[in-house]
Chains A and B, each alone.
Chain A
Amino acid sequence: SQQGEEDPQALSIQEGENATMNCSYKTSINNLQWYRQNSGRGLVHLILIRSNEREKHSGRLRVTLDTSKKSSSLLITASRAADTASYFCATGKGGAQKLVFGQGTRLTINP
């Protein structure tokens, strides 16, 4: 069963605008990760946020985590055409390395 659910399923914006994607999950977690998948490629890790963190930055990426609402958001600022991809959240629990992925948000950046 899927743990994370991304919202929206698809997002189309103009280059230069900011893109925000949301993820909700159901059970307690140790950490939440975001991955990117370009068409026809494997997933690539973007950023991890632990359950005791509220916000994290990496370059143009900003991730927030609200454990009381069991939700996370990924913000990509100043979007570029190369950001066009699908973005997935994944949750980890306990000491296991096992991750459960959501259905993903398909992001399209229009030049």
Chain B
Amino acid sequence: DAGVIQSPRHEVTEMGQEVTLRCKPISGHDYLFWYRQTMMRGLELLIYFNNNVPIDDSGMPEDRFSAKMPNASFSTLKIQPSEPRDSAVYFCASSHSGTNTGELFFGEGSRLTVL
């Protein structure tokens, strides 16, 4: 079975540019999460969806960040405009409520560098 698929794996961009990160969750999973990982702050939950509906976006840093989930098999995290402090590894994870365990399945991450 395919796991959570993220693209791109690496992105280098200049300050002010728009960045779009993409995620395909595991088929059948009804929860999708976006996390950001940095050395200073560790793993931070940015936003999560249930059945394609955003449930909690309190972790989104500011209005420059937005996330969408147009259907059960696709989500995007957009940063516009990007800033050097946005440099981090962004992880997408999915889970299935039916397991009653809350176990998350992570993608390999998108490493973003903003120059």
Contacts and interface: CB of A to CB of B under 8 A. Distances in A.
A41 to B, nearest CB: 6
Secondary structure of the B side of the interface?
Answer: strand
Contacts of B4: 42
Interface in A7-51: 30-31, 33, 35, 41-45, 48
Q: Which range contains the number of B residues in contact with the other chain? A: 20 to 34
CB-based closest 4 A-B pairs = A42-B106, A101-B43, A92-B102, A103-B42
Given A41-B109, A43-B106, A97-B95, 10 more contacts: A42-B4, A45-B103, A48-B102, A90-B104, A92-B102, A96-B55, A97-B31, A97-B102, A98-B33, A102-B42
Interface of B: 4, 31, 33, 35, 42-43, 45, 48, 50, 55-56, 91, 93, 95, 97, 101-109
